[in-house]
Chain A
């Protein structure tokens, strides 16, 4: 398969997932309720510490 075909299929697939999410959940796929750093970040700090990943 040519490179162009792989690229096109990839992009179309990601778009399809985004659209399907919007249709199924009725939510805006690009909405982020987590723009304020405090909540999510604090939660993740605990999480990161617990796994000790680098």
Chain B
């Protein structure tokens, strides 16, 4: 019987001692828990439990059910020594089995593992030891520069080893080439036909250049599993040892004639596999270029004012609050607010907006954008990993490191592929030895060796991650940030796109268009009332009214008792009397008659304007209307979405007529209007219940729940942080073309993954029967195997040059 265990879990989301009690009670109710103690002050719970009856996963589930969250440490480690997807699988499985590890995700292409764990249960040291026992090295991630240096060193080492191997293999290949009748005229020195010369040339290839395969195979077999190294080491060793045996036999029989040897097959296989690995390492490095490009966008130094002096310092040394001077033509080094000067700033690298934006005092400046013509002084507000660019890099890195669902299938297949192939090789040998060519060891060995070599699954492990890396990197360059491989995979399945109106279809900058007074009130007075009341509101429509009044030089006065009526309007006290501004519904609630203005209101709404009624002292005082302009690209982008066979729906809190007017202008299929902010998520749910795969595109805080509930939530990059946080895809460029781009990118990346899986899987599998019936030479198998890895990586790299339909 296992001993009782104790675990400490850090908990997030507790607001008072009652929360702690609630969690404690909940945990105590779990079968197998003997005692649970939740400390509100340190936000931790200590649980004593019987591991035979329950597990930490049950506690975490319970805590989540109660509405709280167990905090996990997240860390990425570099992994050394992996040679194929089977290695990655083994490490991932072992780490996931460890107590305290919530999730471990190994990325074979990036050669790293992202681990989410409970630091009270398991430490990074524990994980390193476990992985070391498997025969690999887990190292905390070092700086990107160091990683890239290490990779370059590895490329140099692999290149050297390949050339060494090739120099020794070429003479062996020479003899092989002259074997055929049609090549027999080629000069070939007798020396090369000598078994002992061949042995002398093949041995360093087998054991120096091929050492890595033996080490890899040993590690795998020690852990009772098999990987590509096992196949290569087994296949080439059999060929090598059998050739030695034939050589000895030849010597004993008086060294007459020339025996048929397989040294060249073993050497050629090793050389070609090394070449394949070399291409693979080089190409793998290139798939991560998007990150490098992003990092290169950053300024390396900043000019700051410290103690009244202007100093040029490294970007890492800039502190929040520092005043940074940016000269014309320079990159803005950090995110901040402009405190002095004005200039046009080119933000195209972040927002995609090609026209430089005029910036004045108080405006925000984004790091890595370019100051065009004026001198600016910026107060740093975000530095290091908090800057917009660093956030973008983080999202891209996480997406590149994440797994698409299809990869999990490929991983499972490659995990069982090697043992299956070894079995097929044994069966092939037995069939040849006992049935096809009874007693002929040579005839039986060759097809068995070929099967071992041809079926190597290393391309299978590369197929998906290389495409995900290249696809998400290219997407980032085009202004689309996928938060994970699964979103890159699933965005293409979307059938319905729901667009928020303000800020998504329209510019989100409404302007005052009409002021319609009623009775004896004059226009200026009505506008003064409306603007003074709306001054306290942060709604874009309110800002438009205030701006309109300001443009007409109307002085505003202070109002009191401001109150917002969600989805309806506002209420204030104006000269001691209640003043209401808002929808028909609000007027109805206040029993204010609006019939006299209804016709005009309908007319304005039909023109796509938002009309707001103003009621004062229980009577209608008039109406103001504002209109938001549609983004220039919206209509064209929606046409593209239609071409992609998508249903486009406009979702807005605006009234039906205004929404219909905008809908008609841009060409959406359906309008869902007059939806309160908290009902947007319900509308998405309703669409999902109709069996549709729904993507929601929005920018505001009120869109966040809908973005989270949609199958794919897309935040338009000019939007709020909350929306971006809730979304699965961030569209950095503020136009709707990015929505169509994201779907196109997703479809093309998936097509690329499928092509890769075909190259990797179908190709190898189809070759197995050909090899088994003896129609393939072992060295051809080696070449085919190297080709399959290389073709997979090269195919993935095509995504880096992917052109979208609108660019073509």
Q: Chain A: residues with CB nearer than 8 A to chain B?
A: 1-3, 5-7, 9-11, 13-14, 17-18, 20-21, 27, 29-35, 37, 40-42, 44-45, 47-48, 51-54
Contact = CB atoms under 8 A, between A and B. Distances in A.
A10 B167 contact: yes
B776 A30 contact: no
B188 A34 contact: yes
A40 B164 contact: no
Interface centre among B156, B163, B201 (most CB of A within 10 A): B163
Grouping DSSP codes into helix (H, G, I), strand (E, B) and loop, the A interface class, with mixed when no group exceeds half, is helix
B253 interface: no
B776 A54 contact: yes
Given A10-B168, A40-B184, A51-B446, A3 B159 contact: yes
12 contacts: A3-B163, A10-B165, A10-B166, A14-B168, A14-B171, A14-B201, A18-B191, A27-B190, A30-B189, A32-B188, A37-B184, A52-B774
Interface string B180-206: 110011011111001001001100100
Contacts of A17: 197, 200-201
A10 B160 CA distance: 10
A41 B444 CA distance: 25
Nearest to B194: A21
Contacts of B179: 44, 47-48
B777 interface: yes
A7 B164 contact: yes
Nearest to B437: A50
A7 B167 contact: yes
A4 B260 CA distance: 34
Contacts of A35: 187
Contacts of B163: 3, 6-7, 10
B523 interface: no
Given A17-B197, A17-B201, A40-B184, A31 B160 contact: no
Interface range for B: 35 or more
Contact of B774 (A11, A44, A51): A51
B160 A44 contact: no
Given A29-B189, A53-B777, A48 B180 contact: yes
A3 B154 CA distance: 11
Contacts of A34: 188, 190
A44 B184 contact: yes
Given A3-B163, A6-B161, A47-B260, A41 B191 contact: no
B168 A2 contact: no
A47 B191 CA distance: 20
Given A35-B187, A44-B180, 8 more contacts: A2-B156, A6-B161, A9-B164, A27-B190, A37-B185, A44-B181, A44-B184, A48-B179
Contacts of A33: 190
B164 A6 contact: yes
B385 interface: no
A7 B168 CA distance: 10
B775 interface: yes
A35 B337 CA distance: 83
Contacts of B157: 1
Given A17-B201, A32-B189, A54 B775 contact: yes
Contacts of B446: 51
Nearest to A16: B200
A17 to B, nearest CB: 5
A21 B164 CA distance: 20
Main secondary structure of the interface of B (DSSP, over half): helix
B780 interface: yes
Contact of A41 (B181, B197, B774): B181
A21 B193 CA distance: 12
Nearest to B182: A41
Contacts of B184: 37, 40-41, 44
A34 B179 CA distance: 11
A37 B188 CA distance: 11
Given A27-B190, A35-B187, A14 B167 contact: yes
B201 A53 contact: no
Interface in B733-784: 774-777, 780
B167 A53 contact: no
Contacts of A32: 187-190
Contacts of B160: 1-3, 5-7
Residue of B159, B178, B179, B191 with most partner-chain A CB within 10 A: B191
A6 B208 CA distance: 11
A6 to B, nearest CB: 3
B188 A53 contact: no
Contact of B776 (A2, A42, A53): A53
Contacts of A11: 167
Contacts of A27: 190-191
Contacts of A44: 179-181, 184
A13 to B, nearest CB: 6
A49 to B, nearest CB: 10
A1 B160 CA distance: 8
Nearest to B156: A3
B437 to A, nearest CB: 10
A43 to B, nearest CB: 9
A51 B774 CA distance: 8
Nearest to B162: A6
A47 to B, nearest CB: 6
Interface string B255-275: 000001000000000000000
A50 B726 CA distance: 67
B167 A31 contact: no
Contacts of A3: 156, 159-160, 163
B502 to A, nearest CB: 60
A45 B179 CA distance: 8
Of A6, A14, A20, A31, chain B has the most CB atoms within 10 Å of the CB of A6
B469 to A, nearest CB: 27
A21 B167 contact: no
A50 B191 CA distance: 25
Contacts of A37: 184-185
Nearest to A1: B160
B247 to A, nearest CB: 15
A31 B200 contact: no
Nearest to B187: A32
A32 B179 CA distance: 14
B395 to A, nearest CB: 37
A51 B777 CA distance: 9
Interface string B604-622: 0000000000000000000
A31 to B, nearest CB: 6
Contacts of A10: 163-168
Nearest to A47: B260
A25 B164 CA distance: 26
Given A1-B160, A6-B161, A29-B189, A52 B168 contact: no
Contacts of B780: 53-54
